[in-house]
Amino acid sequence: MNSFITQSPAKINLFLKVVGKRANGYHEIISLMSRIDLFDVLTLSFEQPSITIRCSNPRVPEGKNNLAYKAASFFFEALPSSNGVDVWIEKVIPVAAGLGGGSSNAASVLMALNQHYGLPFSNMKLMEMGQKIGADVPFFLLRHSAIVSGIGEKLEKFQGMPPLSAVLVCPNIEVSTKWVYESLNLPLTKSGKNFTIQDFREDPFRMLKSLSNDLEAVTVARFPEINNIKQRLLELGAQVASMSGSGPSVFGLFEDLEKASMAFQAMKHQECGDIFLVSLLLP
């Protein structure tokens, strides 16, 4: 088989707490992350003379700056007898939106190459490659909801995620993850509610209502429309509304699909960006 088609899911951060900063400048976090059923579609053609990445969205880099390229490069360095690959990315996940699209693409490339070449590497080895590519890549390799900590390298599978539907709003603004973290006033983030992972295990939905995304304060200060979207989702019946990652995407969680569908229809008339009706991928 010289070609393979795979789906590459987006993610949302159901909460995100910044808990410290390392000497090298990287911030340590704790976050509950879940994949959602919003997918890019990747077509891989194997046994190529080199690595090529092509994408339907012109905003996505197609060379060595693409995380999918880096994934293929690390894989072929570890398996020198292998050849190149051509990857076509049909982009559905909004770009630079806090949804992990590039990291998900990279994880999908690693898994597809490993499958094609007869599983030469364990999942642990793929995780090691993923850590070198991007902070969210190991999460997508796990293929499970997870508590993510450290700088993204520490993963603990999260059991008991409720089957929630969500309305996802991606405003037409660009937010630099690097800028958000550089602008973060770390002491301010430590004034929030204390929590433990065990609290989530006992009552995840109640805890989601009491937690938030520490990065919101930075992003909302420059882009107040993000907060307006949050408030509108809550008015439409969302149990929880929050920004995902460094933004600008905002999601509202609903107890059932019917309520989410009604809110989705209402938000479509708001002219506030790309809007999706999605569900959490379980587990």
Domains with residue ranges and CATH for the chain:
3-157 (3.30.230.10), 165-279 (3.30.70.890)
Of 34-43, 84-93, 201-210, which range is least confident? 201-210
Over residues 37-66, the mean pLDDT reads 95
* 37 pLDDT higher than 70: yes
Contacts of 119 (CB under 8 A, 6+ apart): none
The structure's pTM equals 0.92
Over residues 81-94, the mean pLDDT reads 94
Catalytic (active site) residue 178: no
* 183 pLDDT higher than 80: yes
Local structure of residue 264 (DSSP, 8 states): H
Predicted pLDDT at 187: 63
Predicted pLDDT at 222: 93
Predicted pLDDT at 226: 95
pLDDT band at 1 (very low <50, low <70, confident <90, very high): low
Catalytic residue (one of 11, 17, 70, 230): 11
* 177 pLDDT higher than 50: yes
- 128 C-beta neighbours (distance < 10 Å), count: 15
Distances (CA, A) of 266 to 115, 223, 275, 276: 43, 22, 10, 12
Catalytic residue (one of 40, 70, 91, 136): 136
Of 18-22, 38-42, 245-249, which range is least confident? 18-22
Catalytic (active site) residue 136: yes
